[in-house]
Structure 1
Amino acid sequence: MSAFFQRLFALERGDCLIEAARTTGYADLRARVDAMEALLLRCAVAPDAVVALVCEETTATLMLLLALLRRGNIAVPLPADGRETRAERLTEACADWLFTRADEAGLQRLTPRDKPSLIKDLQETGQAGLIVFSSGTGGKVKAALHRFDRLVDRYGDKPIGDKPIGDKPIGDKPIGDKPIGDKPIGDKLIGDRTNQRPGLRTPAFLKLDHIGGLDTLFRLLHGGGTLILGCPRTPEAVCRLIETHRVTLLPTTATFLNMILISRADRNHDLSSLRLIAYGSEPMPPALLEQARRRLPNVRFLQKYGLTELGVLETRPGDTDSTWFQITGRTQFKIVDGVLWLKRNDTMLGYLNAPNPFDADGWYNTGDLVERRDGLLRIKGRSNRIINVAGEKVNPFEVESVLREIPNVSDALVWGKKSAVTGWIVAATLELQQQEDRRELQQRVAEFCRHRLEPYKVPLLIHIAREGLMGDRLKKTGSVAR
């Protein structure tokens, strides 16, 4: 049994999972996983089979996932709302079996294509694997194969957190001075069960078919924390859940944090238990972070950084008042032409449906534009979103940050539209707090931006969003922009 599961099953106190009114304690966890492993044996699922499971946010689904990983299967988490892409993903993953729900009635035998050498090589080692799909925002959805032990070994013997939350006042020693994973918040030693401390309490906000959601699950279990399932992804519901379950950690995105502040849902609920907001998946506008700090003065904010190909990295904030952060741990980085490149020894084994993205020396081009200052980094957006206006480069994130300061604008997404004169022009889709005439809005935008941006950066075309700009991965998406 791997070190991860040895540690997990050594925990004896505290709640592990909360689903509606049902709670699963750490003392019951091993028996629940054993029951799922018995189900796999009854159904003749081989220990090295590739098994896909639809990730409904239920205790049974998570027990099935843990059982698959403990016995050495290659697990393929699939989105619960992704039925239209399911067949394609099952083919790409070479899945032998599919669980549409976590019981015998939900199990289907599949006929996979010939497995690539990456899967065969992993099967020969007897190690468990995970196939995680990228979001596809940069083009084709890619299937990344990870070795499970390499993903979770980065947590070491020190689970999520800095020091136990609540031991000292928030102003005494700030949470987040050291990266998540730097000091224990769970039990100090596996064998010292009497020293087990209460872990973090967090909702399953990021979806469990996503590398960020999986990292939240595994880090939390490793640290003896509590995961609250079935979290509706609306500002009011999330704030209500924080109050009800005394949540201490909220993993989220800049887009969703903005929605909370605009809706004022934080004013309607008691969020005093909340100690840490870990945000990632997209750049954080400095003005938004400043506003969030004012509204939630007792909460620490931590920039997280993760990739489907590399997993979620260890980070620490640069200071308490900025969007700068430091990549720590075993990650090397370099910046080439303003783009961040990363290197680790525990990355994915490779893509199943695309060429190897690592160069000859093991470096990975993230495609993220960054600034560097005294060893700290700040994300400026994606290199593939740069708009070329008559030879001038426009970073959409810069323009979006300005547009968000315009009265009545809740959020903005900037994109390029082809032009016969300049090649491209800057266009923007705006989410408004209250509806207004588009022509009047266009004039207000032009006047506001005239004092803040160079002329070629000012949007010449304005669309008003019919729906919110947030996509299914809880960040802004270009698919709803036009």
Structure 2
Amino acid sequence: MQEYSMLTERFRRYGDRPALVWRDRAYSYAWLNAQIEAMRERLQAEGIERAVVSLETEYSPYAAAAIFALLGQSCVVLPIDGSLVAAKIEEYLDIGEAQARVGADEAGLSIRWRDGKEGKEGTEAMEVRHPLLRGLLLQRVPGLVLFSSGSTGRSKAAVHRADRLLAKFRAVGRAAKTIPFMMFDHIGGMNTLLTTLANGGCLHVLKDRSPAEVCRTIERYGIEALPVSPTFMNLLLLSGAHRTYDIGSLKVVSYGSEVMPPQTLAAWNAAFPDIRTVQAYGMSELGVLKTKSKSSDSLLFSLQGDGAAYRIVDGLLEIKAESAMIGYLNAPDPFTEDGWLRTGDEAVAEDGYIRILGRRSEIINVGGEKVYPAEVESVLQELAGIEEVVVSAETSGITGQMVMATVKLREDMEPSLGELRRRIWTFCRDKLPAHKIPQKIVITRESLTSSRLKKIRKPQVQEGKPNING
């Protein structure tokens, strides 16, 4: 594959420049290139070529090398975070029709054929049936299968041609010290890995994704770029970790994966006026597109290059891009007849820019009036004592739906449910129309943030730790 050779040739030229820092040890591009070749030799010896293979591991230099080695063997790769529960991993393996399972760590590659057979016999025994996967293997085109988080049901599997994702990096950009905040099985994490390494930057892998660890890493290594979610930005501000560590090296923060509450963006820019804040836009189905925010304090952005175009049809954003997936393995085709991807995001166009309002599936319909959860959450986050809040729909016999707010309070706050309801009504009545003010309040002791540092739109209650409803 031409794009694969392009990147490995760059790695060779980058030589002793650090490519990744993991567990406070630097790994050079020369090491990365050598590791890729060693892993390819091992894969060839095991008969793994033109196969559907899972890569189940934690984020590390070995994982990065394994991704490139598998693509170099014309494999279709299912990147899977090794910390997932076994049942979820098995679900992904079944949907993706994985023939072999690969792990990568300091000991090298671990390889298991799913049917117990090895080499060519293993490939033939685990026959790939889905036409999208078969097409990639027959054409010797490497691929990536990226799974949605599946928080509302069975995960959707988006199939990408790896050559189209890698083609975005033909032009060399600016090298930067970057924290890969999203995991490599997430489109944002994969994009950060590819962008940083293609441009000769350095990935600084976190020990954990707490605000304190992120700020410690920024201070210690002079991190310049940080791609995160709005939820994490809010958590960092609440933690105060930025006042303990010197994060002055940070030049740009890009945010995506969920709607940014205006109050969070305003608070962030007030705290960090010298950091450029950029809204990213990407989906498992699209890849991550190049964008330009109107300004650091604006929720408006435009698409920049990559052959991407957009249109808004009946209030929904549709995008056409060369990096788009070729289809789902287990869900209806989301493309229009003329090739535009229906994103599911409600959006408006303003002076040539786009503004995302929210996922259509999450919009609350109160007696025919639309309520966007992010709008209400943004107001509630200003109320003293609220640590996290998620707004969702609750059935109403009068208006069809009503607004429900699930709230996690600070540890030092323990108001009664009635008192909290009165505080929320008093606080919101001059900031929101009456139909947008939450009619049902749930107090929870559980976190409302997922492992991907996004809001959990359908919070689950753990047994023995009940919510308080009202």
Give TM-score scaled by structure 1 length. 0.88
Q: What do the CA deviations read for 1:129-172 (whole angstroms, capped 9, x no partner)?
A: 111111224643111111111001123313xxxxxxxxxxxxxx
Give, in angstroms, the shift of residue 435 of structure 1. Answer: 2.0
Q: Which residue of 2 aligns with 1:341?
A: 318
Q: Which residue of 1 aligns with 2:78?
A: 76
Q: What do the CA deviations read for 1:226-257 (whole angstroms, capped 9, x no partner)?
A: 11124311111111111112111111010000
Which structure 1 segments of 5+ residues have no match? 159-183, 186-198
| 1:228-377 paired onto structure 2 within 5 Å | 228-329=204-305, 330-377=307-354
The letter for the 2-side match of 1:455 is: A
- Separation in 1, partners of 2:40, 2:58: 19
Alpha-carbon RMSD = 1.7
Q: Which residue of 2 aligns with 1:205?
A: 181
8 Å CA contact retained: 1:58, 1:230: no
Which of 40, 47, 54 is equivalent to 1:44? 47
Q: Which residue of 1 aligns with 2:32?
A: 29
The letter for the 1-side match of 2:413 is: Q
Which of 414, 417, 421 is equivalent to 1:442? 421
8 Å CA contact retained: 2:293, 2:301: yes
Check if 1:417 corresponds to 2:419: no
- Separation in 2, partners of 1:233, 1:382: 26
The letter for the 1-side match of 2:221 is: H
Q: Which residue of 2 aligns with 1:161?
A: none
Check if 1:106 corresponds to 2:113: no
Give, in angstroms, the shift of residue 355 of structure 1. Answer: 2.5
Check if 1:142 corresponds to 2:118: no
The letter for the 2-side match of 1:350 is: G
The letter for the 2-side match of 1:135 is: S
Q: In the superposition, relative to structure 1, how do residues 138 and 357 fare at CA in structure 2: closer, same or farther (>3 Å)? A: farther
- Separation in 1, partners of 2:252, 2:370: 36
The letter for the 2-side match of 1:465 is: T
Give, in angstroms, the shift of residue 422 of structure 1. Answer: 2.2
Which of 445, 448, 454 is equivalent to 1:475? 454
8 Å CA contact retained: 2:215, 2:241: yes
8 Å CA contact retained: 1:370, 1:377: yes
Give TM-score scaled by structure 2 length. 0.90
Q: In the superposition, relative to structure 1, how do residues 129 and 9 fare at CA in structure 2: closer, same or farther (>3 Å)? A: farther
Q: What do the CA deviations read for 1:190-220 (whole angstroms, capped 9, x no partner)?
A: xxxxxxxxx2111221011111100000010
Give, in angstroms, the shift of residue 420 of structure 1. Answer: 2.0
Q: In the superposition, relative to structure 1, how do residues 114 and 125 fare at CA in structure 2: closer, same or farther (>3 Å)? A: closer
Give, in angstroms, the shift of residue 306 of structure 1. Answer: 0.4
Count of matched residue positions in the alignment of Structure 1 and Structure 2: 443
Q: What do the CA deviations read for 1:53-74 (whole angstroms, capped 9, x no partner)?
A: 1131222222111111122111
Q: Which residue of 1 aligns with 2:10?
A: 7
Check if 1:452 corresponds to 2:424: no
Which of 90, 93, 104 is equivalent to 2:96? 93
- Separation in 2, partners of 1:464, 1:355: 37
Which structure 2 segments of 5+ residues have no match? 116-125, 462-470
Check if 1:405 corresponds to 2:382: yes
The letter for the 2-side match of 1:108 is: R
- Separation in 1, partners of 2:206, 2:376: 36
Q: 448-457 vs 246-255, which deviates more?
A: 448-457
Which of 463, 466, 470 is equivalent to 2:445? 466
**Structure 2 counterpart SS, 1:480:** coil
8 Å CA contact retained: 1:429, 1:481: no
